[in-house]
Amino acid sequence: MPSPTTVSARTLTTVAGASVPVPDPDRLIHLQFRRFAGCPICNLHLRSFVARHAELTAANIREVVVFHSSAAELRKYTEDIPLDLIADPTRALYREFGVESSPRALLDPRAWPTILRAVTQVIRTRKTHPAPPSNPEGGRLGLPADFLISPTGQILAAKHGTHAEDQWSVNELLALTPVPAQHHRPPTKS
C-alpha cells in the first residue's frame, strides 16, 4: 500500500498522555515509524535525535515517534526520551502510511554494523537500562519509515526503509526542511 500525499487532521496520544495534533498547525512534524519497544537499533537512532533535540526544535520540527508496541511496554524503555512517543500495537498508523515488515529488516548486510553497535550499547548499559525483550510485541521484522509533514498536512518528503537501519539521520532531516523565506533588504549605500 503506498503512503498518502496528505495527512488528514487527527490527534494522537503519547504514552505520557499528552495530545499531539497531526498535522501541527505551527510546526513541521517528523513522523518516525520505528520497530518495537526496546529495539536496540531504534534506541541508537532515537538517541541521535535526542542529542540534537534543541537544533530540531530551532528548525521548527516536532518529533513524533510511533512504535508497534503497547503504551505499557513502550514506557519501560523510553522514560528518558523527550520526544512524542506513540504506541500503535494494532499497527493502524503503519497500515495507513504503508509501513511494512520484512525478514530483510535484519538480514540486509547494510544493517549489520548498526546491529553490532546497538548490541554493544545494550551490553554497556545493561545495569542501568532494561534489556530488549526476547519476544517483542509485534515481532522484530518491522521496517522503519520517515515522513516530513507540513502544517497544512502535505507530506513534504517520505522514506520507507528497506532494512532496520534505513532511516533519516538528523542531518538528512534538516536538509529536507524548507528554509523560511528571508527578508531581503536592499544593499545600503556607503
The three cell numbers locating residue 67: 512504535
Most confident of 12-26, 34-48, 136-150, 165-179: 12-26
Half-sphere exposure of 18 (CA within 13 A, CB side): 10
pLDDT at residue 132, rounded to an integer? 60
Contact 94, 66 (CB under 8 A): yes
Question: In the predicted model, what is the mean pLDDT of residues 59-76?
Answer: 93
> For residues 36 and 1, which has the higher predicted lDDT (pLDDT)?
36
Name every residue whose Cβ is closer than 8 Å to that of residue 68 and which is 6 or more positions away in sequence: 35, 36, 88, 89, 91, 94, 137, 138, 142
> Among candidates 30, 106, 37, which has minimal Cα distance to 67?
37
- Of the listed ranges 56-65, 66-75, 144-153, 181-190, the one predicted with least confidence: 181-190
What interhelical angle do 40-51 and 112-124 show, nearest 10? 80
Asked if 156 and 98 touch (Cβ cutoff 8 Å), the reply is no
Mean pLDDT in residue range 34-38:
82
pLDDT above 90 (res 185): no
CA distance 31 to 135: 26
Decide which of 3.40.30.10, 3.40.50.2000, 3.30.200.20, 3.40.190.10 is the CATH code for 10-176: 3.40.30.10
20 within 8 A of 14, measured Cβ to Cβ: yes
Predicted TM-score (pTM) of this structure: 0.79
For residue 7, give Cα distances in angstroms to 24, 97, 123, 175: 11, 9, 40, 22
Domain ranges of the chain: 10-176
pLDDT in tens, 22-33: 999 999 999 999
